[in-house]
Chains A and B, each alone.
Chain A
Amino acid sequence: EAGVAQSPRYKIIEKRQSVAFWCNPISGHATLYWYQQILGQGPKLLIQFQNNGVVDDSQLPKDRFSAERLKGVDSTLKIQPAKLEDSAVYLCASSHQTDTQYFGPGTRLTVL
């Protein structure tokens, strides 16, 4: 069974630029999560999808972050414009009718 796929693995941008991350969850997994992991901290949930609907986006900075999950499969997370404090690893995870979340390898974003 293929795991959660994410791309790109690394991204370096200047502040105020925009960036997008892509996630393809494990096949058949209805629930998809985006987490932000700042260096030295645990992951923090940004947004949670159930199929193509948003379940929880209470911690998503909506003035600059957006996410979508078209057709209930893969998802994109966008930051526009990026700030220095957005430097982090962005993790995608998926699950299906269980508590177990399977994480992808993440995208490491550096904002200069």
Chain B
Amino acid sequence: QQQVKQSPQSLIVQKGGISIINCAYENTAFDYFPWYQQFPGKGPALLIAIRPDVSEKKEGRFTISFNKSAKQFSLHIMDSQPGDSATYFCAASFGPLNYGGSQGNLIFGKGTKLSVKP
């Protein structure tokens, strides 16, 4: 119930194309769903995040689509660029520490390695 399942494991997209990465979760108590981007030798960096009261969030070329009933969410990268080549992780948490207990810690998917070909 604590798992976040991510697919695909790797993705190759042509420059200008759309990259789509999917994640699924089981625990309906999760209420915060971020996507992190990680370049080799670097720590993950927050890309975009969504809460379950919203079905879609867009920031520039990055969009999260959220389907609460299906317990799925996805990242869409429009007009993909070679500089987007990185590993992307979806994650979920129970929210900030004011809920008490261990809330706030992130449960990550296994990652998707994206390669954007020029």
Contact = CB atoms under 8 A, between A and B. Distances in A.
B43 A99 contact: no
Interface in A70-88: none
Given A33-B105, A55-B102, A99-B34, A42 B91 contact: yes
Given A44-B108, A104-B43, A31 B102 contact: no
Interface residues of B, number: 28
Interface stretch (B44-52, B56-64, B65-73, B78-86): B44-52
Interface string B20-49: 000000000000101010000111111001
Interface in A57-112: 58, 91, 93, 95, 97-106
Contacts of A40: 110-111
Nearest to B33: A99
B97 A101 contact: no
Contacts of B4: 42
Nearest to B98: A97
Interface residues of A, number: 27
Interface centre among B34, B102, B105, B111 (most CB of A within 10 A): B105
22 contacts: A31-B97, A31-B104, A40-B111, A42-B4, A42-B6, A42-B89, A42-B108, A42-B109, A42-B110, A43-B89, A43-B106, A45-B107, A55-B97, A55-B101, A93-B43, A99-B49, A101-B106, A103-B36, A103-B44, A104-B43, A105-B41, A105-B42
A43 B106 CA distance: 9
A37 B95 CA distance: 22
Given A55-B102, A101-B106, A103-B44, 4 more contacts: A42-B109, A55-B101, A101-B46, A104-B43
A26 interface: no
A45 B105 CA distance: 7
B96 interface: yes
A48 interface: yes
A40 B109 CA distance: 11
Contacts of B96: 97-99
A75 to B, nearest CB: 15
Nearest to A106: B43
